[in-house]
A and B are shown apart, each in its own frame.
Chain A
């Protein structure tokens, strides 16, 4: 049970960071001519750190099973999230 809790917590933090990165990604906004302010470089570094930090935390806590599940899940979920067209396309 604790593995699942660790996984859910870590994945939620990483996915939130990915969602923020995606919504203000400069190239994505430019390519799709979507509205929104591109994130600054420092903000992107911060968000990428927030994305990776839960994985590091799981490793430090010795949660190997949760870490591997987290790393696979965030990559698949990140891809699905990123593959969605920008809002400008949908409107």
Chain B
């Protein structure tokens, strides 16, 4: 039964179609990079030729951190963050907060990069956080993740843009649900082949029907993440804290202890880690020590989610006595429904809660959302194919569809080849631009969407196959070395590239022009369409 009358359906189709058409190609880029970003950790390990340690913070750190603390200015012991990069290198950043040259409050201090096995200092850097050298091995996963988060536009504009795209996806999901009359009835009707238009419509509607729950969920949580930081915090700070965002965060996040600058020896960090690991039943991901050497010192240990859980917890200890103060909620100091709901946003959006299993599921959901976006765009254009003005759009859809993949693949090639030079951040971006430029050139020069699809599909397949070779060219370890070190992730990623290449080529060359199906199918389809 229809939920709306015919006129309203027409208006909904217009809202659904135009909102998607205007920003659909950007939405596709955000969705594709989001699907790939699910594997950001694995991409990081692949980039660095495997991790140096699976559990870098699960070892005695106390003596080394005390030694480092003694070597920095006292003001930098205001806060210490300790975490491991995707390659397993431990970064200990002793810092305080002060105004930078542009008038913004920023972290300033000394960062030590430590080998996770020997805890030897690999590098020592001092300055504002934004001035410290970037992790060269993390350039690729960072590039893809930032493309998803803010399209590499300066903040807050990039976040506004992706937040807007999230809204577009929400509008499309809701309007699609309202205007489609037979969601359950049609859910098992495979795309009919009696006409290109009907086939595209069926493909889009069916994928949309199955993908609706998670499409809504991913759009909602993504919009939240974009706008919470870019709009929510500044507005709330302006309204309630006279524009002081630091004060707002301090109030919302909550502090367990009152200020007390009396000197006091920091408790045994290893004992704290042992206590939190016993409670959490999972590995520690990071450590934050506040007010080192003062009576109001505190230590927070953030843990990975334990088996079966969605979120890891934040275990808080008194830094002077070592007393366990409790599990710190995400917001406030006491458990609340708001903190629980906020805590769900991350797992629902990132899909990293259940290891490889949930990552594979979320990656598939991301690709399904890409498919829904592209088929929706193609359907909209197919209905207007007689108009010359829309002809370019069809070519653009195919170009962006394959071209984004080509650009990401060439970014990965450039990253690996440039690893020995130490200029990976610049070359990853250059590689992306080269791939995007090649795709746009092909899209402009080659006539006909079918041919553009095949040329770009072949180029994407080839680029994916070149990535593992580029990894070896960039001094990455070979498979035998990786086997000996027990590093499965880089091998798995290499294999995924080969499989991806095969899938893309099959997709590009299988997608033949729609032809009339056999008569009995045509009759059946007309019965329903009519």
29 A–B contacts from the bound complex (CB under 8 Å): A2-B307, A7-B354, A25-B189, A28-B190, A31-B524, A31-B528, A33-B520, A33-B524, A65-B308, A65-B310, A65-B354, A66-B308, A68-B347, A68-B353, A68-B354, A69-B358, A69-B361, A72-B351, A75-B365, A76-B210, A76-B364, A76-B368, A79-B210, A83-B191, A83-B203, A83-B207, A89-B517, A89-B518, A89-B521
Whether B402 sits at the interface, judged by CB under 8 Å, is no
A88 CB contacts on chain B under 8 angstroms: 520-521
* B57 → chain A closest CB, angstroms: 22
- B residues 163-221 near A (Cβ < 8 Å) are 185-193, 203, 206-207, 210-211, 213-214
Judged by a CB distance under 8 angstroms, whether B153 is at the interface is: no
B334-369 residues with Cβ-Cβ distance < 8 A to A are 347-348, 351, 353-354, 357-358, 361-362, 364-365, 368
- With a CB–CB cut-off of 8 A, which chain B residues contact A75? 210-211, 213-214, 365
Query: What 1/0 flags go to A1-32 for Cβ under 8 Å of B?
Result: 11110010000000000000110010110111
Partner of B309, one of A30, A65, A84, A89: A65
Chain B residues near A31 (CB-CB < 8 A): 189, 192, 524-525, 527-528
A73 at the interface (CB under 8 A from B): yes
Check if B499 is an interface residue, CB within 8 A of chain A: no
Contact between B361 and A28, CB atoms less than 8 A apart:
no
Main secondary structure of the interface of A (DSSP, over half): helix
**For the complex, would chain B's binding face be called helix, strand, loop or mixed by DSSP majority?**
helix
Given A33-B521, A76-B365, A79-B207: A7 touches B190 (CB 8 Å cut-off): no
A27 to B348, CA, bound (A): 34
* A76-B527 Cα distance, complex, nearest whole Å: 29
CB distance from A12 to the nearest CB of B (A): 14
What is the minimal beta-carbon distance from B341 to any residue of chain A, in angstroms? 14
Total residues of chain B contacting the partner, CB 8 A: 42
Cα-based distance from A45 to B211 in the complex (angstroms): 21
Interface residues of A in 32-91 (CB under 8 A from B): 32-33, 62-66, 68-69, 71-73, 75-76, 78-79, 82-86, 88-89
Which of chain A's residues have a CB closer than 8 A to the CB of B521?
32-33, 88-89
With A66-B308, A83-B191 as contacts: A27 and B186 at CB distance below 8 Å = yes
Residues B308 and A63 in contact, CB atoms below 8 Å apart = yes
**A68, B214: Cα distance in complex, Å:** 10
For A27, list chain B residues within 8 Å (CB): 185-186, 188-189, 528
- What per-residue 1/0 map shows which CB atoms of B310-340 lie under 8 Å from chain A? 1000000000000000000000000000000
One of B187, B207, B353 near A65 (C-beta < 8 A): B353
- B140: interface (CB < 8 Å): no
Question: Is A22's CB under 8 angstroms from B207's CB?
Answer: no
Evaluate contact between A82 and B187: CB separation under 8 angstroms.
yes
B273-328: which residues lie under 8 A (CB-CB) from chain A?
305, 307-310
Interface contact B365-A85, CB-CB below 8 Å: no
Smallest beta-carbon distance A23→chain B, Å: 9
A-B contact sample (16 more), CB < 8 A, given A66-B354, A72-B351: A3-B357, A21-B188, A25-B189, A33-B523, A68-B353, A73-B364, A75-B210, A75-B214, A76-B361, A78-B210, A79-B368, A82-B188, A82-B190, A82-B206, A82-B210, A83-B203
B272 smallest CB distance to A (angstroms) = 27
B215 to A, closest residue via Cβ = A75
- Which chain A residues have a beta carbon within 8 Å of chain B's beta carbons? 1-4, 7, 21-22, 25, 27-28, 30-33, 62-66, 68-69, 71-73, 75-76, 78-79, 82-86, 88-89
> With A and B bound together, what is the CA distance between A89 and B185 in angstroms?
20
- Given the complex of chains A and B, what is the CA–CA distance between A66 and B310 in angstroms? 9
Q: Once the chains bind, are B214 and A79 in contact (CB under 8 Å)?
A: no
Distance in angstroms between the alpha carbons of A51 and B86 in the assembled complex: 39
List, in ascending order, chain A residues with CB within 8 A of B186's CB.
27
Instruction: Report whether A30 and B190 are in contact in the complex, using a CB–CB cutoff of 8 Å.
Output: no
Instruction: Specify the chain B residue showing the minimal Cβ separation from A22.
Output: B188
Known contacts A30-B524, A66-B354, A69-B361: does B307 contact A85 (CB below 8 Å)?
no
Given the complex of chains A and B, what is the CA–CA distance between A33 and B524 in angstroms?
Answer: 6
A78 contact set on B, CB distance < 8 A? 210
On whether A69 and B354 interact (CB within 8 A), knowing A75-B365, A76-B368, A82-B210, the answer reads: yes
By the criterion CB–CB under 8 Å, are B188 and A28 in contact? Answer: yes
CA distance A25 to B410 in the complex (A): 45
Residue among A63, A73, A79, A84 making CB contact with B361, cutoff 8 Å: A73
Q: Please measure, in the bound complex, the distance between the C-alpha atom of A76 and the C-alpha atom of B210, giving whole angstroms.
A: 7
| Complexed CA–CA distance, A22 and B187 (Å) | 9
Q: Which of B347, B361, B527 has the most CB of A within 10 A?
A: B361
Chain A's nearest CB lies how many Å from the CB of B473? 36
Q: Are B214 and A72 in contact (CB under 8 A)?
A: yes
| Residue pair B348, A68 in contact (C-beta under 8 Å) | yes
Q: Smallest Cβ distance from B294 to chain A, in angstroms?
A: 39
